[in-house]
Amino acid sequence: QVQLVESGGGLVNPGGSLRLSCAASGFIFNDYYMTWIRQAPGKGLEWVSYINSRGGTIYYADSVKGRFTISRDNAQSSLYLQMDSLKADDTAVYYCARDVSYNYYVSGNYYNGHYMDVWGKGTTVTVSS
Amino acid sequence: SYEVTQPLSVSVALGQTARITCGGNNIGSKNVHWYQQKPGQAPVLVIYRDSNRPSGIPERFSGSNSGNTATLTISRAQVGDEADYYCQLWDSTSCVFGTGTKVTVL
């Protein structure tokens, strides 16, 4: 069945680095865009980053821009998030999700939309000394 | 950046109808998606593109979007519907989540 499994979380000192991985199975990985989303303890969902199917288009939330790097290996059906210069505020459960991209037409204009139809169970990142 | 607002909590009597709103400037011009998250679990997509249900989601879940408000409606609410619900949309080059609404079934 369709499945996403994150790994690589753990405890890291402020200023340190961590690399998260997400292994995909049950679907054609290179047909889909992918997204990382995080959730701090007791808080809501926060989008982190997005990568298109070939890795040519990447976006980041302002909160992680310049510190995090998203990438993918379609041959390995894997998604990655390299996290550098980590801060206490980065403490969260990190989810990878399959991103469905589409175009829609409203009031004479075309727009691009995205939603996440499959989520992993998440991996926990704790930034603390 | 685009901002959306959700009520912190909504209470509904067992078997009645719960409505969860997601407010934003002219949000009716955007597609809104909804996720359900139960404690300790990953979010689950319950409504996409304003009013579409993924396979496996009960017909009791429905969505609408017009003007400045998108709404997730849960009909005949059950104890199992107790969860946090998040709206989400895509704005230009970023994904925006609502603040989340905790639904309690009384």
Q: Give per-residue pLDDT as tens, A40-82.
A: 999 999 999 999 999 999 999 999 999 999 999 999 999 999 9
Q: Which of A52, A115, A117 to substitute to test the interface with B, most B CBs within 10 Å? A: A115
Q: Which of B6, B85, B95 to substitute to test the interface with A, most A CBs within 10 Å? A: B95
Rounded distance between C-alpha atoms, residue A5 and residue A120, angstroms: 5
| Nearest to A11, CA basis, from A95, A88, A122, A96 | A88
Q: How confident is the model at residue A105 (pLDDT cuts 50, 70, 90)?
A: confident
Task: Calculate the dihedral angle through the C-alpha atoms of A12, A66, A24, A42, rounding to the nearest 10 degrees.
Answer: 60
Q: How confident is the model at residue A106 (pLDDT cuts 50, 70, 90)?
A: confident
Q: pLDDT at position A46, please?
A: 98
Greatest Cα-to-Cα distance within chain B, rounded to the nearest angstrom: 40
Chain A partners within 8 Å of B90 (Cβ): 111-115
Rounded distance between C-alpha atoms, residue A95 and residue A118, angstroms: 10
Report the residue from B31, B41, B97 with minimal CB separation from A46: B97
Rounded distance between C-alpha atoms, residue B62 and residue B51, angstroms: 6
For residues B29-44, average pLDDT: 96
Chain B partners within 8 Å of A106 (Cβ): 29-30
- Cα distance from B78 to chain A (closest Cα, Å)? 23
A110 contacts chain B (CB < 8 A): no
Structure tokens of A36?
């990382």
A58 contacts chain B (CB < 8 A): no
Structure tokens of B33?
């998606």
| Nearest to A35, CA basis, from A91, A88, A98 | A98
The number of beta carbons lying within 10 Å of the beta carbon of residue A62 is 8
| Confidence check: pLDDT of A110 > 90 | no
pLDDT > 70: percent of chain B: 100
